[in-house]
Amino acid sequence: MAFKPKSNIWRGLWLFLICGLVLCMLLVTFSTSCRAPAHHEEPSPPVGLPEEPGGIEGTVNDADGKPVEPTPAERWAADGVFADREYPGEMTYGNYEIRWLADEQYIYIGIRAKTTGWIAVGIQPGSRMKNADMVLGLVKDGEATIYDLFSIGDYGPHPPDTELGGTDDILEFGGKEEDGYTIIEFKRALNTGDDYDLQLSKGVNKIIWSYGTIDSILHHFDRGYGEIQL
């Protein structure tokens, strides 16, 4: 009988410990289920990986990712603005300026004069104006107009090619009047195949130039001879 009280005491202690452990486990489970979910963060990108393709807008890169320098023809625009490095060739005759560039197929020309009237350039193989292949442009009310002409006499007249049975071979053109100057830019083939267009070739090409103070082409203010070298 002396051992029964002791065994009852141990049995009570074991029951107490077991109940305590069960209670602790229940408390831990309850507190975990009530905890707010952790904020989900986007994983950081791995260090050292290349960036997405891109770069400065409007640039073109080669296979190695280096910018490709545009050709002069790709920089050219018939917008009435002489942009930096747009024309490799340039000559000035008083208040008249002509700029040009050429590739294997086309010539791109910009002419500027200190006038608000018309300006013109002609390829001149004969004497004075006779048989000159001419391009004349003007800007009126902000709009550029250009003519493909051919001079049939020493001092004209110089009707449009289309009136002589030829074609208008100006492919692109534009112009602007600004600060007392008129600028005309245009593009045409080096050899158009038109009987009233003269072929431009490598080397020196003789030209005539002129401009007027008003938009009527009947009156010259200044004119002269020059050359462009392709």
Whether 40 maps to a domain, the answer reads no
Under 8 Å between Cβ of 85 and 110: no
Using CA atoms, how far apart are residues 226 and 121, in angstroms rounded to an integer?
10
Least confident of 43-47, 52-56, 86-90, 187-191: 52-56
Beta strands in the chain (DSSP E): 89-93, 96-102, 106-113, 119-123, 133-140, 143-150, 172-178, 181-189, 204-211, 222-229
Buried b (16+ CB within 10 A) or exposed e, 156-192: bebebbeeeebebbbeebbbbbeeebbbbbbbbebeb
**Domain co-membership, 77 together with 22:** no
Is the separation of the CB atoms in 116 and 177 below 8 Å?
yes
Q: Where does the pLDDT of residue 3 fall: very low under 50, low under 70, confident under 90, or very high at 90 and above?
A: very low
Taking only the tens place, the pLDDT of each residue in 92-141 is: 999 999 999 999 999 999 999 999 999 999 998 777 788 999 999 999 99
> Per the omega criterion (within 30 degrees of 0), is the bond before 157 cis?
yes
Two tokens at 213?
A: 């103070």
Comparing CA positions, the residue from 139, 133, 200, 137 lying closest to residue 167 is: 133
Confirm whether 10 is domain-assigned.
yes
Q: Are residues 79 and 188 in the same domain?
A: yes
| Proportion of the chain above pLDDT 90, given as a percent | 56
Report the DSSP beta bridge partners of residue 61.
67
212: domain CATH number?
2.60.40.1210
Q: Which domain holds residue 162?
A: 72-229
Mean pLDDT, the chain, integer: 81
Please report the pLDDT score of residue 42 as a whole number.
53
Number of folded domains that form the chain: 2
Residue 96 shares a structural domain with residue 191: yes
Q: Do the domain assignments include residue 185?
A: yes
Both 210 and 102 in one domain: the answer is yes
Q: Are residues 103 and 186 in the same domain?
A: yes
Instruction: Supply angle C-alpha 32, 35, 39, rounded to 5.
Output: 125
Pair (90, 22) in one structural domain: no
